[in-house]
Each structure stands twice: as structure tokens, then as C-alpha cells.
Structure 1
Amino acid sequence: MNHRHSPDGGLVLLAVAIAALMYEAAATVRERPWPWRRTVLFLTGCALLAAGLTPDPLPWPAADFRTHMVQHLLVGMFAPLALVLGAPISLLLSVAPRRTGRGIGRLLRSRILHTIAHPIFALTVTLSGSTALFFTPLYAASTRDPALHLLVHLHFLLSGYLFAWVVAGPDPAPRRPAVPMRLVILGIAIAFHSTLSQLMYAGILVDVPAPAAERQGAAELMYYGGDIAELLLAAALFARRDRSVSRSA
């Protein structure tokens, strides 16, 4: 299977680099010191995203399904979580002109964002993307079409960012339900990824044209890597809850 890189991959990496530089510049010009941990987390997210988009250092060829799974984990789970914990919206609000800040505030209060930023919607978008990729011919098609491959990455990045933001992000979000409900939603995501990885290992229902060794290796990566990413998200949620409790005490 000829898994070609997208011809626009360089532009995507350039966009990641620009985002990192803009974040660093905003943190520098801000009147009050910006928490260095936020900067480290956001830049780590950019590095993880760049690594997921350039899989050449990985021990398997680009066409190997295990390579794809590492990309999926980096682009769709680990990088979004680190980017979200960098609180880029809060940073933007702190340096933007007042008029721009009011516009961002109106957007955060808009009806469409109230729908998009609900954890149930975010969960649905995230799980439906994985379902479509691994249970339909979409994965095989993405290996033949670089533009489609790039769109798949973009979907997982945006859906992963949305899910991490509404579950445990430090940035303001509309309609964020109580912590117990967010934990239930996160538990559903963990159960889904666990079930998907087991089906993939057994070769049941999945539509992945890859040798059994590659498919099973990728399933193990999804099982353990997904658990790590979701446990980190749960830890971020509890840490945020503990800070909120301490401030209100």
C-alpha cells in the first residue's frame, strides 16, 4: 500500500510553527507574567503535533498501520490535550484589544458554540470519527489520497481539541456540566477505545487492509496509548476541580 505524505504537509508544519511563535509572543508582551507551565504545555503540544505529522523517525515504514496509529494518538489525543492545557484562549483574551475581546466573548456565548462545546456533542464527534475511519473503507482511501489523509488528521486534531477543552480545559467554555457528568462522558470514551482496540486486535468488524501483525501491534498501541492519554485528561479534570474548590473555600 502506497501511503504518500500530503504535498501540503510542509504548510501544515509551518502553521504549527507560526502558532507556537504567536503564542510565545503573546505570552511575552502580556503585562502580567504568563504562567510558564502554560507555555511549556502549549509548546509541547505543538511539538507532539509536528511529530505526528512527520512520522519518519518512527521504527516502521510510513505505510505501516502501526505508524498510522502513533500518528492518530499524537495528533488526536496527546497534542490536543497539551494545547488545551496551554489555555490559548485565555492568553488571547488577555492581550487582545478590548473590541476583539468582546467579539470573542460574544462567540463563546453564541448558540452554535453552546451546542458544539457540550461534552456529549464533543464525544459524539470524536467517537464517530474513529468509527468511520476503522469500520469503513475510509482508512484505505486515506492511504491512497494525500488530501483525504490530511483531512483525517485535521478532523482528529479538532475533535480531540474540542473534547479536551470541554472536559478539562482551563479556558472558558459554555455549558460545561458538573464534574461527575464529565467523568461519565470520559468513561464512555475510555470504554469505546478499549472495545475498539480489542476488536481491532481480533480483526472483528474493522476494515483495515493491513497484515495481522501490523493490525495487532496498532491495536496494542491504541489500547495502552489511549488509556494513558485519557488518564492524563482525567488528571487534568481533577486538578482543575481541586483548584476551583480551593479558590472557593
Structure 2
Amino acid sequence: MHSHMHVPGGGYETIVLILLLIALVVYPLAAVMTSRAYKSWPLHRYGLWVAGILTAGLALIGPLAAYAHTNFVGHMIGHLLLGMLAPLLLALAAPMTLMLRTLRVEAARRVTRLLKIRIFQFIMNPATAAVLNIGGLYVLYMTNVYSLMHESTSLYALVHLHVFLAGYIFTISIIYVDITSHRYSYLYRATMLVLALAGHKILAKLIYANPPHRVPRVEAEAGALWMYYGGDAVDLVLIIILCYQWYKATAPRHLALDKNG
């Protein structure tokens, strides 16, 4: 497999680096500027944004990205960073809320109306988001897409873009930290999260038992273990946040009943 591996050219890494640097600069700049007219932007969100961008950067450029081209374990570590940890960190930074308060009122209203159209509501449904996220991984690892993406820079970039966006959309469809077009019940979101976690674990076991095309068994087994247990670590944070939000939303009613009782 390694002898046929195609490594994306310098142009790819240059574009990624420029986009990451723009994201690192624009977010804090917008936060500082809008803090003059509105309530100060929380300091922890600056840190979450920077951490999320750097996490995505580790998976896309640099030593780990180079290692991922020649070893499935490196690829899987990158997958966890790009598709799970980075989306969680960035979602907690609430970039949509920041964008809306940066825009002029009329422009912000147009964006809000755009988010309410049917296609966006369909994509933001936790069930749809789970299929895009976990289903996309099944296509990647259970078909020849994984080997093919290392032979084409365009496909390589497209796969990584999908992994990140699908992970981000799934994250914001489960936990509501940022502005969202439609809010689903906690029970429904919890159910979709459990199903997605199950699908992720089943896929890890399938990779362990049946390595992707042209991936050595030893690498597949080690990568599958990273996927199984590394995914658990990020998923645990997601579960804690969802449960905390659920408890916070229902606790006031329980307290009121206690007082009246």
C-alpha cells in the first residue's frame, strides 16, 4: 500500500494553512470588535476556538498528517482530531452566534431566515446528521474510497472536508451551545447520540476484523482500537454536556414542585 501512496502537493497544504490562519485571526478580531457594542465575548470561547483550529490543523498539515499518509494508525488519530475533537471545541466556541452579532441587523436577519429553510432543517436533524457522519465513515472504510483518496489530491481534500463538516453538524445537532434553526427534544437527541455511538463502535470492530482495502492487518487492528477507545473519550464529553444541559433545563421545574409540595 505504501508504495502507491500519493501525498498531496504543497499547494494543498498552503491553502489549508491560509484558511486556518484566517480562521485564527477573524474570530478573535470579530469578538473584540463586537464586545465594544455588546456584552463582552466570554474569554473561554477564545481558547476553545484556538484549540479547535489547532486541533484541525494537526490533522491536516504537519508531522501527523504526513504520518497519516503512510500509516493507518496515523490516519485514524487524525480522524479523531478532525472529525470529533475539533468539531466539539469549535461548536463550544459558538461561531454562529458571533457571526450574527458581527453582521448588520438586516444581514443577520437574512442569515437567520436562510437557516430556517427546509434543507437546512433537514440536515440539522440529529438523525440526518448521524447518517451523514457515521454513514460517511462506513463508505470511507468499507469501500475502496480510503485507498483511492490517497491517489487523488481532490478526493483526499473532499474526504477530509466531509469528515470535518459531518462531525461539526452532528455535534451542533446534539448539543445546543450556538444558535440553531430548530430545537429537538433531549430524549430524541439522546437517542440519536446513542445510536451514533453504537454505529461508530460497530464500524471500529468491522475495521478490526476486516481491514480496509490495502491496509495491513496490524495497522488496521491498531487503528480500530484508536477509533474505539479514542472515540469513547470525545463521546464522553459530548454525553456529559448533553446530560448537563438536560438536567439544567428540567431542574427548575423539579425545584418548583419541591417548593410547592
Tell me the TM-score normalised to structure 2 length.
0.88
Point out the more displaced range, 224-233 or 156-165: 224-233
- C-alpha change, 1:115 and 1:60, in structure 2 (3 Å) is closer
Residues 192-211 of structure 1: CA deviation (Å, up to 9, x unaligned): 111111121122xx533111
| Equivalent residues of 1:119, 1:176 under 8 A apart | no
- C-alpha change, 1:104 and 1:243, in structure 2 (3 Å) is farther
| Equivalent residues of 2:65, 2:78 under 8 A apart | no
| Structure 1, unaligned runs of 5 or more | none
Q: Which residue of 2 aligns with 1:20?
A: 24
| Equivalent residues of 2:64, 2:78 under 8 A apart | no
- Tell me which of 47, 70, 94 is aligned to 1:40: 47
Residues 59-97 of structure 1: CA deviation (Å, up to 9, x unaligned): 956311111111111111110111111000111112211
Q: Which residue of 2 aligns with 1:230?
A: 235
Q: Which residue of 2 aligns with 1:180?
A: 187
| Equivalent residues of 2:31, 2:41 under 8 A apart | yes
* CA-CA distance at 1:245 after TM superposition: 4.6
Residues 98-154 of structure 1: CA deviation (Å, up to 9, x unaligned): 111111111122122111111111011112210110110000101111221111000
Is residue 2:215 matched to residue 1:210?
yes
* CA-CA distance at 1:246 after TM superposition: 6.3
Q: Which residue of 2 aligns with 1:5?
A: 8
* CA-CA distance at 1:213 after TM superposition: 1.2
| Structure 2, unaligned runs of 5 or more | 257-261
Among all aligned residue pairs of Structure 1 and Structure 2, give the percentage whose two residues are the same amino acid: 32
Q: Which residue of 2 aligns with 1:132?
A: 139
Q: Which residue of 2 aligns with 1:83?
A: 90
AA aligned to 1:156 is V
Alignment root-mean-square deviation, CA: 1.9
Is residue 2:73 matched to residue 1:66?
yes
AA aligned to 2:51 is T
Tell me the TM-score normalised to structure 1 length.
0.92
Secondary structure of the residue that 1:144 maps to in structure 2? coil
- How far apart are the structure 1 equivalents of 2:233 and 2:96? 25
- How many residue pairs get aligned? The number is 247
* CA-CA distance at 1:224 after TM superposition: 0.8
